Chains A and B, each alone.
Chain A
Amino acid sequence: MDKVLSNKKMIALYVLPSLLLILTIVYIPIILTGFYGLHEWNGIGSMKFIGLENYANLMKDGKFWDSAWHSLLLALFSGLSLIIYLMISMVLAARIKGANAFRKIYLIPMLLSSVAIAQLWLRIYNPSNGILNSVLQSIGVDNPPAWLAEPSLVLFALFIPILWQYAGFYILIYYAALKNIPTTLDEAARIDGATSWQIAWKIKLPLIMETVKVTIVLAVVGSLKYFDLIFVMTDGGPNGSSEVMASYMYHTAFRAYDFGYGSATAFSLLVICLIVTWIIRWLTRSKDTIQYS
């Protein structure tokens, strides 16, 4: 058995294609991004080494910090929305009739492309005949705002489709975790006289805490690298008020052809994502994990 299963040639044959692919497409590019960031380069001509100048400029770049702030705001919104998703999942997992149908309906937007979602929500927000302002006018709001054209509203307006897209996904994750808890715990608590509310917050929540931590990382880091929807709906506008880190990177590299500076931005995005992941893991660390048995 061991002889057959430690056949070096077969192992190489099974592992190397994928390994080479991930090194070429993921790991080498990451290193190159950091390397390009040390250069002045328009993407076509020769690269000129300038050391940390791009990174120094980035630190002084108000537009970059604005985009980082917008990303952070989106991350904060997404993190907070998890509370709503958690409450809905608690209700769904409490042996409610039709729970299965509800969670399937909630999931549908998650299956659609961000471009289709963005185009659809552009029509919803359309100031003249979008559904949102039509409804607002019919209930007596005379001058509903042009949602995506108002610098003070645009981030919030962009967050609604994000909420719409991902709600079902997080509800599904929580639901799956809650369903994994043995029902005997539930019954035992009920016999001891615990109310549904107490069972939900004192027993179930601590038991799915590991899942909650994973979703916090997913939601926050996912928001930091948010791109498609914003790119299509506002392209960072009006006047940069919805620019996020990924779109700023895209604009500097592929629109302004400043590939060195764009690379420095892209590398900073990676570093910020890793740092934020680490901070969340550190903040939500626990000395002992609770287990069912």
Chain B
Amino acid sequence: MTGNIELQSTTNHGTWRWLGRIGYAIMYIVLILVAVFQLFPLVWLMFFSLKNNQEVFNLPPLSLPMHPRWENYSKVWNAGNIDVYFLNSLWVTVVATVLTVVLGSLVTYAITRMKWKGSSLVLGLFMVAMMIPVHSTLIPLFNFFNKVGLTDHPLSLVLSYVAFNMPITIMILLGFYYSLPREVEEAAVIDGCSVNRMFFRIVLPMTGSVIATTAIINMIYNWNEFIFVNTFISSDSYKTLTVGVQNFIGQYTTDWGAIGATLMISILPILIMFLFLSDRIVEGMAAGSVKG
């Protein structure tokens, strides 16, 4: 069909087809170049994380390490507090993510399924919070946590993460909750079901896929968060990986292998997660696109 139209509308069909092919090739070259630009720094990082300084400085930068020095990894894992930072990141991320998803689900359920006067006002409060720069709250938050004895305490991080990720979480959940059929709930009410039972036994199990999406988004944000940890946490035993990596590198500015290994350790969990869940992450990122 389309072929016929092209034949009729173009007199010099052959030239057009040629140009089309060249255009197609150029397009692919551009796409591949962008892909190389996106991946190349990470490949280079992996290479130098397996070299010692002599190899980093003397060999061409793109050369593979001849004898991969895995000891760089064991060295930084044991020498610094990387293991401590790693565990801190892990549990702060998990606790904050679980809390955000549970609290966010409860609020979204109340807003979309229950009947009360202030619901649109409350929803508005959560949505407007999305526009507020984190930095504008930093000084009062620091002061507040200081007064209640929560500076240098992981709870200050958990509370901040939950509050600042709540809006985006509710926004993603909202669309899903609106599309849930009401019939199931009606049947449940007729059977004498309570609100709690309805939420935990009927609604929550139906939202599994969207909960996974929001949890992934939350985990990525929490795992990578920097400014709150840098401001609220001062002792090494509570620091998370982002700040820990920063401090560790500050002490070992010249050992490129160690620096590379430290950076690789900090990004590997996310990369591995991406390897297994890339479809879900892509979907989650698209759904959560309205976050600055």
- Residues from chain B with a CB closer than 8 A to the CB of A262 are 139
Q: Contact: B224 with A33, CB < 8 Å?
A: no
- Residues from chain B with a CB closer than 8 A to the CB of A6 are 114-116
Minimum CB–CB distance from A99 to chain B (whole Å) comes to 9
Q: Contact: A30 with B137, CB < 8 Å?
A: yes
Q: A19 contacts the other chain (Cβ, under 8 Å)?
A: yes
Give the nearest-CB partner of A220 in chain B.
B292
Q: Contact: A172 with B286, CB < 8 Å?
A: yes
Q: Contact: B44 with A131, CB < 8 Å?
A: yes
In the complex, A255 Cα to B163 Cα: how many Å? 26
Cross-interface CB contact of B133 among A21, A129, A134, A246, cutoff 8 Å: A246
Q: Contact: B104 with A18, CB < 8 Å?
A: yes
In the complex, A131 Cα to B63 Cα: how many Å? 11
User: With A4-B194, A6-B115, A106-B34 as given contacts, are A29 and B137 in contact (CB-CB < 8 Å)?
Assistant: yes
Q: B103 contacts the other chain (Cβ, under 8 Å)?
A: yes
Give the nearest-CB partner of A219 in chain B.
B292
User: With A21-B163, A225-B134, A250-B135 as given contacts, are A107 and B140 in contact (CB-CB < 8 Å)?
Assistant: no
Produce 1/0 per residue, B181-199, CB < 8 A to A: 0000110010001111011
Which residues A11-42 have CB closer than 8 A to chain B? 11, 14-15, 17-19, 21-30, 32-33, 36
In the complex, A14 Cα to B110 Cα: how many Å? 7
- Residues from chain A with a CB closer than 8 A to the CB of B243 are 115
- Residues from chain B with a CB closer than 8 A to the CB of A111 are 220, 224, 270-271, 274, 281
In the complex, A2 Cα to B164 Cα: how many Å? 32
User: Does more than half of chain A's interface fall in helix, strand or loop, or is it mixed?
Assistant: helix
Q: Contact: A21 with B166, CB < 8 Å?
A: yes
Q: Contact: B60 with A269, CB < 8 Å?
A: no
Which residues B1-49 have CB closer than 8 A to chain A? 1-2, 5, 9, 27, 30-31, 34-35, 37-39, 41-42, 44-45, 48
In the complex, A231 Cα to B263 Cα: how many Å? 17
- Residues from chain B with a CB closer than 8 A to the CB of A246 are 133, 135
In the complex, A1 Cα to B1 Cα: how many Å? 56
Q: Contact: B166 with A1, CB < 8 Å?
A: no
Q: A236 contacts the other chain (Cβ, under 8 Å)?
A: no
Which residues B213-267 have CB closer than 8 A to chain A? 220, 223-227, 231, 241-243, 245-246, 249, 256, 259, 263, 266-267
In the complex, A233 Cα to B53 Cα: how many Å? 21
Q: Contact: A112 with B224, CB < 8 Å?
A: yes
Which residues B98-141 have CB closer than 8 A to chain A? 103-104, 106-107, 109-111, 113-116, 122, 125-126, 129, 131-141
Q: Contact: B41 with A124, CB < 8 Å?
A: yes
User: With A25-B159, A112-B267, A269-B135 as given contacts, are A172 and B282 in contact (CB-CB < 8 Å)?
Assistant: yes
Q: B285 contacts the other chain (Cβ, under 8 Å)?
A: yes
Cross-interface CB contact of A259 among B42, B139, B198, B286, cutoff 8 Å: B139
Minimum CB–CB distance from B216 to chain A (whole Å) comes to 10
Which residues A106-138 have CB closer than 8 A to chain B? 106-116, 119-121, 123-124, 129, 131, 134-135
Q: Contact: B226 with A254, CB < 8 Å?
A: no
Produce 1/0 per residue, A89-117, CB < 8 A to B: 00110001010001111111111111110
Q: Interface range on chain B: under 10, 10 to 19, 20 to 34, or 35 or more?
A: 35 or more
Minimum CB–CB distance from B124 to chain A (whole Å) comes to 12
Q: B143 contacts the other chain (Cβ, under 8 Å)?
A: yes
User: With A33-B137, A164-B41 as given contacts, are A112 and B270 in contact (CB-CB < 8 Å)?
Assistant: yes
User: With A22-B163, A26-B164, A113-B224 as given contacts, are A254 and B133 in contact (CB-CB < 8 Å)?
Assistant: no
Minimum CB–CB distance from A235 to chain B (whole Å) comes to 11
Residue from the set A4, A215, A250 with the largest chain B CB neighbour count within 10 Å: A4
Q: B162 contacts the other chain (Cβ, under 8 Å)?
A: yes
Q: Contact: A21 with B159, CB < 8 Å?
A: yes
Produce 1/0 per residue, A148-190, CB < 8 A to B: 0000000000000000100111001101100000000000001
Q: A242 contacts the other chain (Cβ, under 8 Å)?
A: no
User: With A92-B31, A266-B135, A270-B133 as given contacts, are A120 and B45 in contact (CB-CB < 8 Å)?
Assistant: yes
Give the nearest-CB partner of B109 in chain A.
A14
Q: Contact: A221 with B38, CB < 8 Å?
A: no
- Residues from chain B with a CB closer than 8 A to the CB of A107 are 281-282, 285
Minimum CB–CB distance from B125 to chain A (whole Å) comes to 7
- Residues from chain B with a CB closer than 8 A to the CB of A277 are 131
Q: Contact: B131 with A36, CB < 8 Å?
A: no
User: With A5-B195, A11-B114 as given contacts, are A190 and B2 in contact (CB-CB < 8 Å)?
Assistant: yes
Write 25 A-B pairs (CB below 8 A) sorted by A numbering. A6-B116, A15-B122, A22-B129, A22-B166, A24-B163, A29-B137, A36-B140, A105-B39, A107-B281, A111-B224, A112-B267, A115-B246, A116-B267, A123-B48, A124-B44, A131-B61, A173-B289, A218-B289, A218-B290, A225-B292, A227-B135, A249-B135, A250-B138, A270-B136, A273-B133
Hey, which bits of chain A sit against chain B, CB under 8 A? 1-2, 4-8, 10-11, 14-15, 17-19, 21-30, 32-33, 36, 43, 88, 91-92, 96, 98, 102-116, 119-121, 123-124, 129, 131, 134-135, 164, 167-169, 172-173, 175-176, 190-191, 193, 214-215, 218, 221-222, 224-225, 227-228, 231-232, 246, 249-250, 253-254, 259, 262-263, 266-267, 269-270, 273-274, 277
5 extra A-B contacts, CB within 8 A, seeds A25-B164, A221-B292, A228-B227: A1-B189, A112-B267, A116-B242, A131-B61, A266-B138
Q: 3 smallest A-B Cβ distances: which pairs? A: A25-B163, A113-B224, A32-B140
